[in-house]
Amino acid sequence: MEPAEPAEPAEPEAAEEVLRSRSWSRSRSRDLLLLAGICLLTLLLVNAFVARPFSVPSASMENSLRSGDRLIANKLAYAFGDHPERGDVVVFDGTGSFRRGPAEPTGFGDALRAFAQDLGLAPAGDSVYVKRVIGVGGDRVTSTGPGGRITVNGVPIDESSYLAPGDEPSNVAFDVVVPAGKLFVMGDHRSASRDSRDHLGEPGGGFVPEGRVIGRADWVVYPIGHWAGGLDRPSAFAAAGGTGGHGDQR
């Protein structure tokens, strides 16, 4: 048996082609990883500073918002010296006002969880609420109970454009002056909403600090049948404009 002839060395051109192919594959993988990292970082920054998605947890804002709706909270709405205004629908952290507990994280675990929530990496939790602003700092908000309208600084507010059908403006009588830097908020489905009215006798009086507002609810994005171009400020509050507010108590 004749010995096998040694294999001829691969052509230099073929070897170079294999090396180029491997180099291109590694470069493409790095580019894809870099692109994924940029997309993730952009998403985190948007969630932290621009807009953040939330799920509506209850029926307290029907029919403006329904339980399970996904909305986008505009975090830039009050970022440059602007304040929440009467009629705005806001998403806020109710810790310390609607829920008992410290307003700030007390430990490393709480701080880490709050940071993850700010980035949208963790669920918002049961301390986050969505309500409509009825009074701002300096406003006097009153109700005579069933059959009467809510008044802001003596101006009756026509809430028929957003109140849930069949609901009274309030079944509870109250007369409060909103402290500077705080908000008096209520749900649109008044008979199914626990809001500032339910915390009047508690520490803090049910007033929400402006600093606890996460953003203004501007868009409903899911389900498709509930899409809305914006949760506009009702014209009903225009009549109360210039009657105090944001610390100007009258």
- What is the identity of the amino acid at 148? G
Q: What's the chain's length in residues? A: 250
Active site residue 60: yes
CA distance 4 to 240: 101
Q: Could you give the C-alpha distances from 130 to 94, 100, 113, 186, in angstroms and in order?
A: 10, 17, 20, 9
Rounded-to-integer distance, Cα 71 and Cα 219, Å: 6
Which of 60, 64, 97, 143 is labelled catalytic?
A: 60
Cα four-point dihedral sign 126, 223, 39, 215: negative
CB within 8 Å of 60: residues ≥ 6 apart: 130, 131, 187, 188, 189, 192, 193, 194, 195
75 part of the active site: no
C-alpha separations of 117 from 57, 123, 129 in Å: 16, 6, 14
Q: Which residues contact 202 (CB under 8 A, 6 or more apart)?
A: none
Q: Name the active-site residue from 64, 75, 131, 143.
A: 131
Tell me the catalytic residues. Answer: 60, 131
